[in-house]
């Protein structure tokens, strides 16, 4: 059974800092790895989807990498802003989509 | 763009009552699904559908029913509510392919007393 872990559970950084969120998964037989953002009281918004054949994807200040062999993905956020404050979840897509519990990010002005 | 619309946003039920959570999408997505989100448990798949007339069970299907009579709608029915069903419920959809991003509604917060 796929298990997805995100460490740390919470992270607080000053504005302008570059940061990395980590995601690990136990079963490397995945179609893709997705990163989502969840704001309080809202649903999840898809940020990046990395196909199993890809190593990374970029969107603006966000860069996600995937290393299937080690069962790891990272989400890099450049020049963080207070508006980036949210919970970030990763999900591994195999026979089913399995979510991690998320990293709650706070960017302080 | 409406995307995925869920109603109601909040609901309080008494144990044993039944209700239907509504989900509609206007993106012509083949795949639709229901998740529940609980602290310490993450998001867990309840039921899903790969097209009109086709539904299947997810990880935690007990106590819930679904049907998919149209491409747009995928209601979730609680047959006899229990306190263990207190949760936030999310509907999500995507194009049929695995390699398409999942689009979520804003959720229904359900409390069963």
Average pLDDT score over chain A: 95
The residues near A70 (Cβ < 8 Å, ≥ 6 apart) are none
The predicted structure's pLDDT at residue B42: 87
- Report the pLDDT value the prediction gives residue A17, as an integer from 0 to 100: 97
A96/B contact by beta carbon, under 8 A = yes
Task: Give residue-wise pLDDT tens across range A53-77.
Answer: 999 999 999 999 999 999 999 999 9
Ranges A25-29, B6-10, B93-97: which has the least confidence: B93-97
Given this model, what pLDDT does residue B109 score?
Answer: 97
pLDDT at B10: 97
Q: What is the pLDDT of residue B47?
A: 97
Confidence of residue B41 (pLDDT cuts 50, 70, 90): confident
User: Any idea how long chain B is?
Assistant: 113
pLDDT given for residue B98 in this prediction: 75
Listed as ranges, residues in chain A with pLDDT below 70 are none
Kindly state the tokens that stand for A107.
Answer: 């960017």
Distance from CA of A60 to the nearest CA of B (A): 18
Any A CB within 8 A of B40 CB: yes
Among B98, B100, B109, pick the best mutation site for testing chain A contact (most A Cβ within 10 A): B98
Taking 80 as the threshold, does the pLDDT of residue B112 lie above it?
yes
Residues 6 or more apart in contact with residue A13 via CB below 8 angstroms: A19, A80, A105, A106, A107, A108
pLDDT of residue B1: 65
Provide mean pLDDT across the span B87-110. Answer: 92
Task: Determine contact, residues A47/A37, Cβ cutoff 8 Å.
Answer: yes
CA distance B78 to chain A (A): 21
Per-residue pLDDT for B94 more than 90?
Answer: yes
Span B69-83, average pLDDT: 97
Tokens of B110: 């359900």
When the pLDDT of each residue in chain B is averaged and rounded to a whole number, the result is 94
So what's the pLDDT on residue B2? 77
| Rg, Å, chain B Cα set | 13
Which pLDDT score, from 0 to 100, does residue B99 have?
81
């Amino acid at each position: 059974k796929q298990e997805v872990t995100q460490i740390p559970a919470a992270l607080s950084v000053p504005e302008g800092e570059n940061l990395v969120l980590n995601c690990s998964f136990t079963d490397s037989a995945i179609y893709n790895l997705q990163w989502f953002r969840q704001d309080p009281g809202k649903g999840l918004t898809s940020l990046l989807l990395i196909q199993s054949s890809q190593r990374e994807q970029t969107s603006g200040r966000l860069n996600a990498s995937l290393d299937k062999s080690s069962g790891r993905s990272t989400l890099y956020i450049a020049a963080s802003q207070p508006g980036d404050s949210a919970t970030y979840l990763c999900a591994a897509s195999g026979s089913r989509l399995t979510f991690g519990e998320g990293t709650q990010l706070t960017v302080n002005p | 763009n409406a995307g995925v619309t869920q109603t109601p946003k909040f609901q309080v039920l008494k144990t044993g009552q039944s209700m239907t959570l509504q989900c509609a999408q206007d993106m012509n997505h083949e795949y639709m699904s229901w998740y529940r989100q609980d602290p310490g448990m993450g998001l867990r798949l309840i039921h899903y559908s790969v097209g009109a007339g086709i539904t299947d069970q997810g990880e935690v299907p007990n106590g819930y029913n679904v049907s998919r009579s149209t491409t747009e709608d995928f209601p979730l029915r609680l047959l006899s509510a229990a306190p263990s069903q207190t949760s936030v419920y999310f509907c999500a959809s995507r194009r049929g392919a695995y390699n398409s991003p999942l689009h979520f509604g804003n959720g229904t917060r359900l409390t069963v007393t």
